[in-house]
Structure 1
Amino acid sequence: MDVTFTKVPGRRYRMTIVRERGPQLAPRQGPGYDDYMPHDAVHFLVEAEAGLSGGVFGRIAAGQSNIFWAADPVIRKRQARREAKRQPSKGEHADMARSETLASLCEPLWQLRAGRRSSLPEWFSSMEPGIGESQLVERILARMDDFAAHWHPLPAGGSVTLAWPLHARSSQALRLR
């Protein structure tokens, strides 16, 4: 699966997904624009690096629509009914919670490391002790460094494409357009 993040005018970004399983998905405007690190890019990098197949992007790669919708309106209704009947597994719930925790942790750590903030938020002290120094977090922060270096200089209309899973095609994990 390839996820393309495209800068659009007005401090916004769009995500487009091309995947092997499931219906074709319509592009989606992303929340939380940032000149260096869009919110959904944080989640993608966290989930890919941590191997969270039950997170947002793992579920999409497996054929679910999740935060997207099918491009075809007929398929969209059928897919929505099918997914409304399906309850996420305990593993998917755990992966989604882990994604949220890691994204909440890594985003301010990365901003501090990149000089985009001067201190960590107060709530940070309530996080699991030592988690900020883990090898996993370090790998995620390195991926975020790489993404930001490519994303920040892009003009409106420029894109970065990430391949899921990152490990399967690491030499092609990030492409610019």
Structure 2
Amino acid sequence: MRVVFTKGPGTSYGIAVHRETGAELAPRNGPGGHRYLPHDLVHFLVESEVGIGLGVYGRLAAGDNGMFWPADPAERAKAARRRKSNPVRPSARAQADMARSEQLAAIALPVWEVRHGHARELPAYVPAGEIPAEVDRIVSRFDEYADRWHALPVGGSLTLTW
């Protein structure tokens, strides 16, 4: 699966997913909010570095639409009907993987910001003595992409493979 992050103005960005399994997905806009590490890129790097198999990207690769919708309007309508008539509850493992992705993203990004002088201190919810061991590896992955993303012109893209 290929994931394309396209830089918009300010901190906005778009994301497109090209996968082998499941309906073709329509691109969507990301929540933005960061000049160096867009939210969805953070999750991609966290999940790929730690091996989270049923987070956002593992589920997309397996054919789940996640927070995306099918590009084909007929497929989109079918997916909406299925969700409405038979809401799928994620498995316990999928819920745990999503929670782990959120937890690590919420810790690793502020650690990266402090280490690179973009913040003075960690937020109160990140106790310095309780940072998971994986965070150093994740922050190293952030280092690989942060400056590349920041240097992109509006309309420029990064493509990552899952």
**How big is each residue's C-alpha offset from its partner over 1:26-76, in whole Å with a ceiling of 9 and x where there is no partner?**
010000332111011111111111111111111111101111100001101
TM-score, structure 2 length as denominator?
A: 0.92
Conservation of the 8 A alpha-carbon contact between 1:21 and 1:61: yes
Conservation of the 8 A alpha-carbon contact between 1:13 and 1:33: no
**Partners in 2 of 1:10 and 1:145 — Cα distance?**
20
Alignment of structure 1 residues 1-177 onto 2, 5 Å: 1-83=1-83, 85=86, 86-125=88-127, 129-131=130-132, 134=133, 136-164=134-162
Gaps of at least 5 residues in structure 2 are: none
Matched AA of 2:150: H
Matched position secondary structure for 1:152: helix
Q: Percent identity?
A: 49
Conservation of the 8 A alpha-carbon contact between 2:47 and 2:55: yes
* Two-structure CA RMSD over aligned residues (Å): 1.6
**Partners in 2 of 1:151 and 1:10 — Cα distance?**
12
**CA displacement at 1:154 relative to structure 2:** 0.5
Matched position secondary structure for 2:130: coil
Cα separation, partners in 2 of 1:80 and 1:52, compared to 1, 3 Å: farther
Aligned length: 160
**CA displacement at 1:83 relative to structure 2:** 4.6
Matched AA of 2:49: E
**CA displacement at 1:123 relative to structure 2:** 1.7
Matched AA of 1:129: E
Cα separation, partners in 2 of 1:128 and 1:43, compared to 1, 3 Å: farther
Matched AA of 2:3: V
**How big is each residue's C-alpha offset from its partner over 1:72-109, in whole Å with a ceiling of 9 and x where there is no partner?**
01101222333553221000000001011001010100
Matched position secondary structure for 1:77: helix
Higher relative contact order (CA 8 A, sep 6+): 2
